[in-house]
Chains A and B, each alone.
Chain A
């Protein structure tokens, strides 16, 4: 553990047994269920090697290595909190680094090194605490030996081991502790004894991020490095037929023009030269069938599909008899466009290829996949590819591509150019680059009895599968159902109260690449479910809160957040003139969130003034982080609710930048309150669960304001 004699990354990589991509997801189970099962096995897992996660320097510094990527979600702070609670160091001694890509850091539930699914904190809850506890025991053992006392007489205190009058700082014990054998088992602190966990804790990455020192992928600079821009096909699936590079090569600063599988790369000494060079390229494209894609035609196809039987995602009772017994039937289509993640830092990757090795600098959520995919191109073993994870200028799922297309393209360019290369995506490249949240259609038909209670629920969901065609398909698609397409609908608590129901899924294939986008299935299922329930409440002449309470009476955690949000928002109390409330509640990533939105509508313009949210995420590690993440999820979802839309014409994406793909800005920011339900349940995620409820909460408030049901996103009154 000492900085000098301790853990050496190269040595570690040498002695490791090589990279194994061990997907441990149980086939056929919804990802969430599989995750819960895997997480429950954690207790049976051998204790981690503290040397892989922790270095204690002679200066007393405690460096925590992160198995996950910091992309804004705050694990740069949360994972060290887990270590520090058990280790007993002083919080000011903590330093943080991203871990290299290596088997020691594979996700405890997913079996590959990655960041996603709002899992980083709760799947590391045991491992990082164990690391801290193991290191503490080794430091105590070293001190006890030196003092010739029983270890049981020793305790740790803010970076010191103490026994009676004797005190030694961790830094002075680190070298000796390194030689101790880690104990076979450790006892973790009881929650009532926590001094760090559960307390609002400020971020550790602030100083470098407010001074501009923080290094993102785009900031990487290597000796002799060139910058490349790639001209990619203007439509999905298009290929280069032929190209002429003379004019591009004539641009001052352009060093090379090389063809790669994804297009034609212009390699230059600077970004601007690469951009001018790319503009000067003359390329003939073989566009292929992707050039036929238009949004209107896709919508027609989706509507036609929704009329047919698909794969059955959920089924109970007898729909026909349910509808026959219904006093009234409501029907509604909800439609959702393709969305770009639009991370503030556009895609980029820097690659240096050496002799029998390759180094990659990038902000990635998928180290193991990137390592494997890069190695395949170069004929290397995965462990010969070294990944340097930088800070991520936003992730939201975009930097977790099963194809590693950003990384593999950069490897191809560096290989063809024969120099270290940083491939930069312009904003327009990023917006046109695919890997979108899929377009979706939900068609609902619901029969209610004379009291307005649903007795038959039929739902067809149409949209591309995110995992189809990827290495995840065999694991995550079962009987034609991609669990990420129907999560939040097929497992909805509402359906459990409805005796007759069926959900059909259609997963059309398309050249348009799609990907997980913050909260994944919840981005559309929560809207369909929560808007339909609101419509049912209105049809029954009941208050939307009271109606939900009735349907969710057996779901205590849903009820808990619903009641807390309603109480804090003053549900049912008078509002200033022109203000109206809407409500939604949704569980995702094992956390429960309810949101009450307060809106006004003036000249068809929707303005969200206030959002009151309540979250039950089980045991809360860092309340400050939870609040920030729920706020963040709400703003992300609000941008999708009010603005987000990519459309296609002749295969071309019609939006390109923040001028035509707008974002919520500070002048449109609602006042957001986040109320955390005290809980001793197992922790859930918080990075994503704030997103799903906001769009339905706003749409339901717009209905209250205008009596108009807006069933398509983004919400438009005119």
Chain B
């Protein structure tokens, strides 16, 4: 039996422990927002957060994810809400076919958690593992900067609230 914590929920699953985490998320937990693109960690469509870090779920055996906190695109924001990165993606009109975008967004959210004000070089380093065949990279870059700005504003607002 495999024990997984996904988006804050515990699951006990009877699956082959060698199964890539991606397929357990998609087939056993019905979390199909995480995509299959290459199966060899070369395209980033399957990106999820494992203990807060962006990870390629297509090559991670499900057994290796036990005891860790897994977050998928479905769990990035509380139900009915959107993460700053998702809102920025909408505001910058980033998506085209949309297939790679959950992976892009998860990679961007992990970057911003680590570096709230990323430079272009930071964005290149963090997102160059994610392929977009529609070529939305220019708007992805703008959206990451926009999300960073939004996060900064939120932090300032929270600080000023605390002060007052």
Binary flags per residue of A175-215, CB closer than 8 Å to B gives 1, else 0: 00000000000000000000000000011011101111111
Check if B133 is an interface residue, CB within 8 A of chain A.
yes
Instruction: Kindly list 20 other residue pairs between chains A and B, CB separation below 8 angstroms, not including A206-B95, A666-B132.
Output: A73-B96, A202-B93, A211-B33, A211-B73, A212-B33, A212-B34, A212-B74, A221-B30, A227-B27, A344-B37, A344-B43, A427-B38, A628-B136, A635-B137, A638-B135, A658-B42, A665-B131, A666-B137, A669-B135, A669-B138
Are the CB atoms of B97 and A72 closer together than 8 Å? Answer: yes
Q: Using a CB-CB cutoff of 8 Å, which residues 409-449 of chain A contact chain B?
A: 424, 426-428
Are the CB atoms of B128 and A666 closer together than 8 Å? Answer: yes
Are the CB atoms of A214 and B98 closer together than 8 Å? Answer: yes
Are the CB atoms of A207 and B90 closer together than 8 Å? Answer: yes
Are the CB atoms of A210 and B86 closer together than 8 Å? Answer: yes
When chains A and B are docked, how far (Å) is the Cα of A636 from the Cα of B94? Answer: 16
When chains A and B are docked, how far (Å) is the Cα of A136 from the Cα of B141? Answer: 41
Q: Which residues of A contact B86 (CB under 8 A)?
A: 210-211
Q: Residue on A with the closest CB to B88? A: A210
Check if A549 is an interface residue, CB within 8 A of chain B.
no
Q: State the Cβ distance, A394 to closest chain B Cβ, in Å.
A: 5
Check if A597 is an interface residue, CB within 8 A of chain B.
no
Are the CB atoms of B23 and A271 closer together than 8 Å? Answer: yes
Q: Which residues of B contact A638 (CB under 8 A)?
A: 135
Q: State the Cβ distance, B139 to closest chain A Cβ, in Å.
A: 8
Check if A115 is an interface residue, CB within 8 A of chain B.
no
**Given the known A-B contacts A207-B90, A252-B16, A666-B140, are A72 and B123 also in contact in the complex, defined by CB atoms under 8 Å?**
no
When chains A and B are docked, how far (Å) is the Cα of A490 from the Cα of B129? Answer: 41
When chains A and B are docked, how far (Å) is the Cα of A664 from the Cα of B128? Answer: 9
Q: State the Cβ distance, B43 to closest chain A Cβ, in Å.
A: 5
Are the CB atoms of B135 and A631 closer together than 8 Å? Answer: yes
CB within 8 Å of A: which residues of B? 15-16, 18-20, 23, 26-28, 30-40, 42-43, 45, 72-74, 82, 86, 89-90, 93-102, 105, 123-125, 127-141
When chains A and B are docked, how far (Å) is the Cα of A631 from the Cα of B89? Answer: 17
**Given the known A-B contacts A213-B33, A426-B39, are A663 and B99 also in contact in the complex, defined by CB atoms under 8 Å?**
no
- Of A71, A212, A672, most buried by chain B (CB within 10 Å of CB) is A212
Q: Which residues of A contact B101 (CB under 8 A)?
A: 209-210
Check if A236 is an interface residue, CB within 8 A of chain B.
no
Are the CB atoms of B42 and A206 closer together than 8 Å? Answer: no
When chains A and B are docked, how far (Å) is the Cα of A424 from the Cα of B140? Answer: 29
Q: State the Cβ distance, B38 to closest chain A Cβ, in Å.
A: 5
When chains A and B are docked, how far (Å) is the Cα of A427 from the Cα of B131? Answer: 13
When chains A and B are docked, how far (Å) is the Cα of A427 from the Cα of B130? Answer: 15
Chain A residues within 8 Å of chain B by Cβ, number: 62
Are the CB atoms of A206 and B128 closer together than 8 Å? Answer: no
Q: Which residues of A contact B127 (CB under 8 A)?
A: 665-666
7 chain-A/chain-B pairs, Cβ below 8 angstroms: A71-B97, A203-B93, A218-B32, A221-B30, A342-B133, A624-B93, A628-B139
When chains A and B are docked, how far (Å) is the Cα of A395 from the Cα of B134? Answer: 10
Q: Which residues of A contact B20 (CB under 8 A)?
A: 272
Are the CB atoms of A632 and B134 closer together than 8 Å? Answer: yes
Q: How many A-B residue pairs have CB under 8 A?
A: 179
When chains A and B are docked, how far (Å) is the Cα of A638 from the Cα of B134? Answer: 12
Are the CB atoms of B96 and A663 closer together than 8 Å? Answer: no
Selected from B30, B37, B82, B138, the residue in CB contact (under 8 A) with A210 is B82
When chains A and B are docked, how far (Å) is the Cα of A215 from the Cα of B31? Answer: 11
Check if A712 is an interface residue, CB within 8 A of chain B.
no
Q: Nearest 6 A-B pairs (CB), nearest first?
A: A212-B33, A635-B135, A393-B99, A72-B97, A209-B98, A72-B96
When chains A and B are docked, how far (Å) is the Cα of A633 from the Cα of B133? Answer: 10
When chains A and B are docked, how far (Å) is the Cα of A716 from the Cα of B23? Answer: 38
Are the CB atoms of A212 and B99 closer together than 8 Å? Answer: no
**Given the known A-B contacts A658-B43, A669-B141, are A209 and B95 also in contact in the complex, defined by CB atoms under 8 Å?**
yes
When chains A and B are docked, how far (Å) is the Cα of A184 from the Cα of B129? Answer: 56
Q: Which residues of A contact B82 (CB under 8 A)?
A: 210-211
Are the CB atoms of B42 and A657 closer together than 8 Å? Answer: yes
Q: Residue on A with the closest CB to B105? A: A210
Q: Which residues of A contact B33 (CB under 8 A)?
A: 211-213
Check if A279 is an interface residue, CB within 8 A of chain B.
no
Check if A253 is an interface residue, CB within 8 A of chain B.
yes
When chains A and B are docked, how far (Å) is the Cα of A271 from the Cα of B74? Answer: 21
When chains A and B are docked, how far (Å) is the Cα of A476 from the Cα of B148? Answer: 52
Selected from B28, B73, B135, the residue in CB contact (under 8 A) with A632 is B135
When chains A and B are docked, how far (Å) is the Cα of A345 from the Cα of B35? Answer: 8
Q: State the Cβ distance, B67 to closest chain A Cβ, in Å.
A: 21
Q: State the Cβ distance, B31 to closest chain A Cβ, in Å.
A: 8
Q: Which residues of A contact B135 (CB under 8 A)?
A: 631-636, 638, 664, 669
Q: State the Cβ distance, A204 to closest chain B Cβ, in Å.
A: 11
Q: Residue on B with the closest CB to A427? A: B38
Are the CB atoms of B131 and A658 closer together than 8 Å? Answer: yes
Check if A20 is an interface residue, CB within 8 A of chain B.
no
Q: State the Cβ distance, B95 to closest chain A Cβ, in Å.
A: 4
When chains A and B are docked, how far (Å) is the Cα of A44 from the Cα of B11? Answer: 61
Check if A327 is an interface residue, CB within 8 A of chain B.
no
Q: Which residues of B contact A343 (CB under 8 A)?
A: 97, 99, 133
Check if A273 is an interface residue, CB within 8 A of chain B.
yes
Are the CB atoms of A671 and B42 closer together than 8 Å? Answer: no
Q: Which residues of A contact B124 (CB under 8 A)?
A: 666-667
Are the CB atoms of A216 and B74 closer together than 8 Å? Answer: no
Q: State the Cβ distance, B134 to closest chain A Cβ, in Å.
A: 5
Are the CB atoms of A663 and B95 closer together than 8 Å? Answer: no
Are the CB atoms of B36 and A218 closer together than 8 Å? Answer: yes
When chains A and B are docked, how far (Å) is the Cα of A71 from the Cα of B95? Answer: 11
Q: Which residues of B contact A207 (CB under 8 A)?
A: 90
Are the CB atoms of A658 and B40 closer together than 8 Å? Answer: yes
Q: Residue on B with the closest CB to A690? A: B135
Q: Residue on A with the closest CB to B93? A: A202
When chains A and B are docked, how far (Å) is the Cα of A10 from the Cα of B8? Answer: 42
When chains A and B are docked, how far (Å) is the Cα of A664 from the Cα of B131? Answer: 8
Are the CB atoms of A394 and B42 closer together than 8 Å? Answer: no
When chains A and B are docked, how far (Å) is the Cα of A708 from the Cα of B107? Answer: 39
Selected from B32, B40, B140, the residue in CB contact (under 8 A) with A219 is B32
Are the CB atoms of B133 and A74 closer together than 8 Å? Answer: no
Q: Which residues of B contact A215 (CB under 8 A)?
A: 32
When chains A and B are docked, how far (Å) is the Cα of A252 from the Cα of B19? Answer: 12
When chains A and B are docked, how far (Å) is the Cα of A657 from the Cα of B58? Answer: 14
Are the CB atoms of A659 and B45 closer together than 8 Å? Answer: no
Are the CB atoms of A270 and B27 closer together than 8 Å? Answer: yes
Q: Using a CB-CB cutoff of 8 Å, which residues 159-178 of chain A contact chain B?
A: none
Are the CB atoms of B93 and A628 closer together than 8 Å? Answer: yes
- Of B38, B93, B99, most buried by chain A (CB within 10 Å of CB) is B99
When chains A and B are docked, how far (Å) is the Cα of A636 from the Cα of B96? Answer: 13
Q: Which residues of B contact A665 (CB under 8 A)?
A: 127-131, 137
When chains A and B are docked, how far (Å) is the Cα of A252 from the Cα of B17? Answer: 12
**Given the known A-B contacts A632-B134, A632-B135, are A393 and B42 also in contact in the complex, defined by CB atoms under 8 Å?**
no
When chains A and B are docked, how far (Å) is the Cα of A271 from the Cα of B18? Answer: 12
Q: State the Cβ distance, B163 to closest chain A Cβ, in Å.
A: 33
- Of B42, B96, B124, B139, most buried by chain A (CB within 10 Å of CB) is B96
When chains A and B are docked, how far (Å) is the Cα of A221 from the Cα of B139? Answer: 32
Are the CB atoms of A393 and B32 closer together than 8 Å? Answer: no
Q: Residue on B with the closest CB to A219? A: B32
Q: Using a CB-CB cutoff of 8 Å, which residues 661-718 of chain A contact chain B?
A: 663-667, 669, 671-672
